[in-house]
């Protein structure tokens, strides 16, 4: 590993992220490396873009009685590797060497259990809503950094790996912007058809 990559990553922790460790993780299956980036959107309560509710959820500290919506998710234990706020601030909850609990029942290109081989990135936002330029800037640099350390061969939305069950990040997420910023081939992104 080069010194530049070594400087960016330490045991799966990205040096430019604010760390808040989640207990909701486990080991990846033996011999499995992260090859997929999964993009999600989240806000708690839905549509509210302030406060620390997402951080509290991912660390099992959420006050379930703080808002009526929280009763719908009471007791869930979830996490993501990363969370990008509306202002572009970046948080990390789980080492990318480990398996975060973000995808649920899922499949990508015929391979089930996406948590086993993916890195989950949550964008603060409402599913189907728009995202901020600051978030794209952070996401672009984060995805590029992840690819220096892990053999990433695809990026997908939660909606693509759990169709019918999830709709995030949704129709207003700009996949073309992400592809253009990264300069990765079209076949790594949703919507690419084999042979096209």
Domain ranges of the chain: 3-188
- Inform me whether the pLDDT recorded for 141 exceeds 50: yes
Region 134-149 average pLDDT: 98
Task: Output the pLDDT for position 1.
Answer: 58
- Inform me whether the pLDDT recorded for 53 exceeds 80: yes
Task: Output the pLDDT for position 196.
Answer: 32
Confidence of residue 191 (pLDDT cuts 50, 70, 90): confident
Q: Which of 98, 122, 124, 137 is catalytic?
A: 122
Region 61-70 average pLDDT: 96
Per-residue burial over 55-70, b if 16 or more Cβ lie within 10 Å, else e, is bbbbbeebeeeeeeeb
Task: Output the pLDDT for position 50.
Answer: 86
- Inform me whether the pLDDT recorded for 195 exceeds 50: no
- Inform me whether the pLDDT recorded for 5 exceeds 90: no
- Inform me whether the pLDDT recorded for 91 exceeds 80: yes
Residue with the bigger pLDDT between 14 and 3: it is 14
CATH class of 3-188: alpha beta
Q: Is 122 a catalytic residue?
A: yes
Task: Output the pLDDT for position 4.
Answer: 66
Confidence of residue 6 (pLDDT cuts 50, 70, 90): confident
């Amino acid at each position: 590993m080069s010194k530049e990559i070594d400087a960016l990553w330490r045991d799966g922790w990205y040096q430019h992220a604010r760390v808040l460790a989640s207990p909701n993780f486990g080991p990846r299956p033996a011999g499995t490396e992260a090859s997929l980036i999964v993009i999600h959107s989240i806000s708690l309560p839905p549509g509210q873009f302030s406060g620390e509710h997402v951080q509290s959820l991912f660390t099992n500290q959420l006050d379930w009685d703080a808002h009526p919506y929280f009763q719908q998710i009471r007791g869930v234990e979830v996490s993501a590797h990363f969370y990008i706020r509306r202002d572009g601030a970046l948080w990390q909850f789980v080492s990318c060497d480990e398996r975060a609990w973000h995808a649920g029942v899922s499949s990508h290109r015929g391979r089930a259990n996406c948590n086993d081989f993916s890195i989950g990135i949550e964008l603060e936002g409402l599913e189907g809503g728009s995202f901020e330029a600051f978030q794209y800037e952070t996401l672009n640099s984060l995805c590029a950094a992840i690819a220096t350390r892990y053999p990433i061969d695809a990026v997908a939305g939660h909606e693509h790996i759990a169709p019918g069950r999830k709709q995030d990040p949704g129709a207003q997420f700009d996949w073309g912007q992400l592809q253009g910023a990264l300069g990765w081939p079209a076949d790594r992104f949703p919507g690419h058809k084999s042979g096209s």
